[in-house]
């Protein structure tokens, strides 16, 4: 029986090479898309799922206003909640950034960029498996360090690391453990040090200083609500009440005016994808992209399955005789169904194999796109692949098989079956679905394109062309003062200015595109403004061509400019609601500041974000700003740029920082990175757009071919009766135009709704106009006509006699 099936199957493949290839290709592209989505999905979902504590370790997320959640907490709350809430088993403070430092061992230097500063129970929260040492004694004291296997390899080679002494930040540390970093987590440290105790102790009085990440381990995961309430209570009693008292208000009044901290608990298992905060140490999973991608790839797969079903049922008409004969010589319906499902199974298997090849070949690009290192393995993945296979057989196989097995044997054998209208409504329905999906993609990708274009062409308010941004590590430590930092910076600045080609040098405490590093709120006439701090050296704003709207730039000519002068941007001015802001005194963080100028709004975040109110000071005006000085901006003669950069690097590695690599970028390039994820989404959408349109057009082509073939006799009769070619063409095309319009109308609402949702990501966005819809409709209609007309034109050229004599 199998041999017989295979014979028929291979015969059809041989005689319908084009359609078979296109069918298999369509399916395999659809499956490949889904595989990509699954790989991404599996990867994102695997974060922290291995952790046995995932449900009873919680991140304290503090809600500062209706939309802002901070992942950081203040230092005293940890022990306070442990004391007041017996449900809390323990707490662990961690640093919210990886430290990037050099670790010394004898004469060896290894730079490690994922150093986590934590408390000693870190490994009880994240129980990585230990190769040397153990979890309990991983960080017993402040002189301990536990390192990952990779780092151990780099530092000590094949030697045992346990007990060895290394130097980090001028401190001698003893290696207490080596762990395997083989599982994904929101913390993936190359090594962990126990410096957090000191930092917590130093700021134990500062209730309002939210600077560390706090994790709580509860005895029972169901207690999170009680603990949340207790946290709120602790903040209220220790922070709100004293502050209200200091202002001479009742706590209720105080909260009404200044807001309050609302703590929430997020279990570790959901932090990666669903946290409301800006994320812990690793960037958050992009849940939206994940959903978009999964949704679109499923849509593409459905499209390719519909395509397959459509052409399979259309093709089945040609095989009616075979089916009829089989039934007459004794095949039961079940056997016919089995035969056709078998064919689908073989096609599906082929498609899956080809899709695996496609995936394997394009995985490197995909990994670059997602900034991940996905691979095609894991039993979970192959299980999912098997499920896809089964679903495809069910979705793509059963319908055509049942359809075929229900052929009326008598009609088939009398020979007038080919023109029967059996199942035609369903094929047309599927065709309309394809049109709708194609319209969705054409319109959608055009809108996405428009938005990205809009962001690209936006006047960002500065000009970063040919300006170098050099990453400057600055100097820190107990004994280093703000003056030391300023002195060192000025030294570097003078050295840089001496290099040939360098025109201007100026320091800054921000990177355009990344937003401000610190936010300090100030009040003016009962108006609260969350000012984003931009610390600058003289000349920086001029260098970046950030324009002044009112007043003047900061200048060394005015002595007060390094004491109290402050610049704000237009957004801040609007909030201040002052007609004449120049010379106004502001109480800024306990000091008196005087507004001397207003700058034109410029983007410090990505161009889709709203521009926040900005506060600009010279480094010297706010002494601790010097600790934010991590960028030195340089303009140079473009003609000698390569040589100038080489000279700067030479100076840098010799005199400024010999340990760390010299890192720089051009400001405009760097800025583009701030919205690269949206550019990627656009590219993804465009790629899928092409795929979808290709699949849909092929489906249309196949269906038009079959249905025109069915109508060949009618065409022949019309022609003998004197119909002209163009009348025939209209006759053949009009139903497809009709379907095309219906499909387009069906797509209208979903595309409008979903794309509007997507555009909500952007404060600075386009409104959806008629234009993309017009473009989409025109494109869809002209592609449809192109395909159908080409088929129809061929049909009208055929030899009339052939079809009239037939039968």
Partner 1 sequence: MITIKKLSKIFRTEEVETNALSEISLTINEGDFVSIMGPSGSGKSTLLNIIGLLDSASGGSYELLGQEMIGLKEKLKSKARKENIGFIFQNFNLIDELSVYDNIELPLIYNNVPSSERKKKIEHIAAVLGISHRLKHFPQQLSGGQQQRVAVARALINDPKIILADEPTGNLDSKNGNEVMELLTDLHAAGSTILMVTHSDYDASFSQKIILMKDGVILSEKLNQRNVDVLVTSKN
SS3 call for 500: coil
Q: Are 286 and 677 contacting, i.e. CB atoms less than 8 angstroms apart?
A: yes
Among residues 220, 245, 274, 333, which is the contact residue for partner 1, using CB under 8 A? 333
What is the C-alpha separation between 166 and 121, in angstroms, rounded? 21
What is the DSSP code string of 704-741? HHHHHHHTHHHHHHHHHTT--HHHHHHHHHHHHHHHHH
Specify the residue, 243 or 321, whose C-beta has the smaller distance to partner 1. 321
Among residues 142, 289, 354, 413, which is the contact residue for partner 1, using CB under 8 A? 413
Q: Residue 154 to residues 112, 150, 661: CA-CA distances in angstroms?
A: 10, 6, 18
Q: Are 546 and 602 contacting, i.e. CB atoms less than 8 angstroms apart?
A: yes
Q: Residue 351 to residues 15, 32, 298, 389, 629: CA-CA distances in angstroms?
A: 19, 9, 16, 10, 56
In the complex, the smallest distance separating the C-beta of residue 9 from partner 1, rounded to whole angstroms, is 9
In the complex, the smallest distance separating the C-beta of residue 297 from partner 1, rounded to whole angstroms, is 36
**Helical (H) or strand (E) element with 468:** strand 467-471
From residue 277 to residue 316, the character string flagging contacts with partner 1 as x (rule: CB under 8 A) and all else as - is ----------------------------------------
What is the C-alpha separation between 775 and 691, in angstroms, rounded? 18
Under rule CB under 8 A, how many of the chain's residues touch partner 1?
A: 24
In the complex, the smallest distance separating the C-beta of residue 408 from partner 1, rounded to whole angstroms, is 9
Among residues 52, 113, 158, 329, which is the contact residue for partner 1, using CB under 8 A? 329
Residue 322 makes contact with partner 1 by CB under 8 A: yes
Residue 398 makes contact with partner 1 by CB under 8 A: no
Q: Are 262 and 65 contacting, i.e. CB atoms less than 8 angstroms apart?
A: no
Among residues 249, 409, 575, 775, which is the contact residue for partner 1, using CB under 8 A? 409
Residue 759 makes contact with partner 1 by CB under 8 A: no
Among residues 21, 102, 291, 325, which is the contact residue for partner 1, using CB under 8 A? 325
In the complex, the smallest distance separating the C-beta of residue 184 from partner 1, rounded to whole angstroms, is 52
In the complex, the smallest distance separating the C-beta of residue 323 from partner 1, rounded to whole angstroms, is 9
Among residues 102, 172, 328, 727, which is the contact residue for partner 1, using CB under 8 A? 328
In the complex, the smallest distance separating the C-beta of residue 274 from partner 1, rounded to whole angstroms, is 54
In the complex, the smallest distance separating the C-beta of residue 390 from partner 1, rounded to whole angstroms, is 27
Q: Are 435 and 781 contacting, i.e. CB atoms less than 8 angstroms apart?
A: no
Residue 4 makes contact with partner 1 by CB under 8 A: yes
> Rounded to 5 degrees, what angle do the CA atoms 281, 284, 285 make?
140
In the complex, the smallest distance separating the C-beta of residue 431 from partner 1, rounded to whole angstroms, is 27
Residue 7 makes contact with partner 1 by CB under 8 A: yes
Question: In terms of Cα–Cα distance, which of 565, 601, 602, 560 is closest to 586?
Answer: 565
Q: Segment near partner 1 (CB under 8 A), from 144-152, 224-232, 322-330, 601-609? A: 322-330
Q: Segment near partner 1 (CB under 8 A), from 2-10, 225-233, 367-375, 636-644? A: 2-10
Q: Residue 251 to residues 68, 391, 530: CA-CA distances in angstroms?
A: 22, 60, 21
Q: Segment near partner 1 (CB under 8 A), from 9-17, 36-44, 54-62, 531-539? A: 9-17
DSSP state of 372: -
Q: Segment near partner 1 (CB under 8 A), from 126-134, 405-413, 514-522, 780-788? A: 405-413
The strand pair at 614-618 and 565-569 is best described as antiparallel
Q: Are 96 and 213 contacting, i.e. CB atoms less than 8 angstroms apart?
A: yes
Cβ neighbors of 782 (< 8 A, separation 6 or more) are: none
DSSP state of 192: E
Specify the residue, 321 or 672, whose C-beta has the smaller distance to partner 1. 321
Q: At what angle do helices 333-370 and 676-710 cross, to 10 degrees?
A: 150
Structure tokens at 734: 């009009």
Among residues 109, 243, 321, 493, which is the contact residue for partner 1, using CB under 8 A? 321
Q: Segment near partner 1 (CB under 8 A), from 4-12, 47-55, 72-80, 662-670? A: 4-12
Specify the residue, 335 or 731, whose C-beta has the smaller distance to partner 1. 335
Specify the residue, 155 or 341, whose C-beta has the smaller distance to partner 1. 341
Among residues 140, 242, 364, 415, which is the contact residue for partner 1, using CB under 8 A? 415
Residue 198 makes contact with partner 1 by CB under 8 A: no
Residue 416 makes contact with partner 1 by CB under 8 A: no
Residue 330 makes contact with partner 1 by CB under 8 A: yes
Structure tokens at 117: 């500063």
Q: Are 327 and 336 contacting, i.e. CB atoms less than 8 angstroms apart?
A: yes
Specify the residue, 163 or 415, whose C-beta has the smaller distance to partner 1. 415
Among residues 55, 89, 282, 335, which is the contact residue for partner 1, using CB under 8 A? 335
Among residues 410, 610, 763, 798, which is the contact residue for partner 1, using CB under 8 A? 410
Q: At what angle do helices 287-318 and 398-405 cross, to 10 degrees?
A: 20
- The sign of the torsion formed by the CA atoms of 717, 718, 719, 721 equals positive
Structure tokens at 629: 């000085």
SS in 3 state form for 421-445? CCCHHHHHHHHHHHHHHHHHHHHHH
In the complex, the smallest distance separating the C-beta of residue 405 from partner 1, rounded to whole angstroms, is 11
In the complex, the smallest distance separating the C-beta of residue 703 from partner 1, rounded to whole angstroms, is 22
Residue 331 makes contact with partner 1 by CB under 8 A: yes
SS3 call for 744: helix
Specify the residue, 15 or 129, whose C-beta has the smaller distance to partner 1. 15
Binding site for partner 1 (CB under 8 A): 1, 4, 7-8, 11-12, 15, 321-322, 324-333, 335, 409-410, 413, 415
């Amino acid at each position: 029986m199998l041999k017989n099936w295979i014979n028929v199957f291979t015969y059809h493949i041989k005689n319908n090479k084009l359609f078979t290839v296109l069918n298999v290709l369509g399916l395999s592209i659809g499956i490949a898309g889904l595989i990509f989505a699954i790989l991404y999905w599996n990867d994102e979902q695997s974060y922290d799922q291995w952790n046995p504590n995932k449900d009873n370790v919680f991140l304290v997320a503090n809600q500062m206003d209706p939309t802002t959640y901070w992942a950081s907490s203040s230092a005293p709350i940890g022990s306070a909640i442990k004391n007041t809430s017996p449900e809390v088993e323990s707490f662990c403070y961690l640093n919210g950034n990886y430290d990037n430092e050099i670790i010394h061992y004898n004469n060896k230097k290894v730079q490690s960029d994922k150093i986590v500063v934590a408390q000693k129970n870190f490994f009880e929260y994240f129980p990585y498996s230990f190769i040397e040492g153990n979890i309990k004694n991983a960080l017993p004291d402040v002189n301990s360090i536990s390192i990952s296997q990779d780092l151990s390899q780099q530092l000590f080679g094949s030697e045992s690391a346990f007990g060895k002494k290394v130097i980090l930040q001028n401190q001698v540390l003893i290696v207490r453990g080596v762990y395997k970093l083989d599982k994904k987590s929101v913390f993936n440290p190359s090594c962990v040090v126990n410096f957090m105790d000191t930092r917590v102790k130093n700021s134990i009085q500062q209730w309002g200083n939210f600077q560390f990440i706090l994790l709580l381990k509860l005895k029972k995961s169901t207690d999170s609500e009680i603990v949340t309430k207790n946290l709120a209570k602790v903040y209220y009693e220790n922070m709100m009440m004293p502050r209200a008292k200091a202002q001479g208000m009742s706590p209720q009044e105080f909260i009404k005016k200044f807001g309050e901290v609302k703590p929430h608990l997020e279990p570790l298992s959901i932090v990666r994808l669903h946290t409301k905060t800006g994320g812990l140490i690793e960037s958050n999973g992009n849940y939206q992209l994940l959903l978009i991608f999964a949704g679109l790839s499923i849509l593409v797969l459905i499209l390719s399955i519909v395509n397959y079903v459509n052409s399979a049922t259309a093709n089945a008409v040609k095989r009616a005789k075979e089916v009829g004969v089989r039934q007459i010589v004794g095949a039961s319906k079940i056997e016919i169904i089995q035969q056709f499902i078998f064919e689908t199974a073989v096609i599906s298997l082929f498609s899956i194999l080809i899709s695996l090849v496609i995936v394997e070949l394009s995985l490197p690009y995909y990994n670059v796109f997602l900034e991940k290192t996905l691979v095609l393995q894991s039993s979970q993945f192959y299980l999912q692949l098997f499920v896809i296979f089964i679903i495809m057989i069910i979705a793509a196989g059963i319908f055509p098989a049942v359809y075929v097995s229900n052929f009326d044997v008598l009609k088939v054998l009398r020979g007038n079956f080919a023109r029967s209208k059996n199942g035609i409504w369903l094929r047309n329905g599927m065709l309309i679905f394809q049109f709708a999906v194609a319209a969705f993609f054409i319109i959608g990708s055009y809108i996405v394109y428009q938005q990205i274009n809009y962001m690209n062409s936006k006047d960002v308010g500065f000009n970063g062309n040919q300006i170098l941004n050099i990453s400057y590590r600055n100097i820190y430590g107990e004994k280093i003062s703000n003056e030391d930092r300023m002195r060192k910076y000025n030294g570097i600045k003078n050295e840089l200015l001496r290099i040939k080609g360098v025109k201007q040098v100026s320091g800054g405490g921000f990177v355009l595109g990344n937003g401000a590093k610190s936010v300090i709120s100030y009040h003016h006439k009962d108006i609260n403004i969350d000012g984003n701090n931009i610390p600058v050296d003289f000349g920086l704003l001029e260098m970046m061509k950030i324009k002044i709207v009112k007043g003047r730039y900061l200048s060394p000519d005015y002595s007060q400019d390094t004491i109290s002068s402050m610049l704000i941007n237009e957004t801040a001015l609007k909030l201040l609601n002052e007609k004449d802001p120049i010379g106004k005194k502001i109480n800024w963080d306990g000091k008196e500041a005087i507004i001397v100028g207003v700058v034109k709004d410029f983007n410090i975040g990505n161009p889709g974000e709203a521009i926040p109110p900005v506060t600009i000071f010279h480094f010297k005006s706010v002494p601790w700003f010097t600790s934010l000085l991590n960028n030195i901006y340089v303009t140079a003669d473009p003609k000698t740029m390569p040589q100038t950069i080489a000279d700067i690097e030479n100076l840098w590695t010799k005199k400024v920082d010999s340990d760390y690599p010299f890192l720089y970028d051009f400001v405009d390039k760097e800025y583009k990175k701030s919205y690269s994820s949206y550019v990627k989404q656009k590219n993804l959408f465009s790629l899928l757009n092409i795929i979808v349109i290709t699949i849909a057009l092929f489906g249309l082509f196949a269906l038009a071919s079959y249905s025109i073939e069915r109508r060949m006799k009618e065409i022949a009769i019309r022609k003998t009766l004197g119909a002209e070619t163009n009348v025939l063409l209209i006759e053949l095309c009009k139903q497809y135009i009709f379907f095309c319009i219906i499909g387009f109308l069906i797509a209208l609402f979903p595309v409008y709704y979903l794309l509007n949702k997507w555009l909500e990501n952007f404060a600075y966005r386009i409104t959806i106009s008629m234009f993309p819809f017009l473009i989409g409709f025109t494109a869809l209609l002209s592609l449809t006509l192109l395909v159908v007309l080409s088929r129809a034109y061929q049909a009208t050229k055929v030899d009339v006699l052939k079809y009239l004599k037939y039968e």
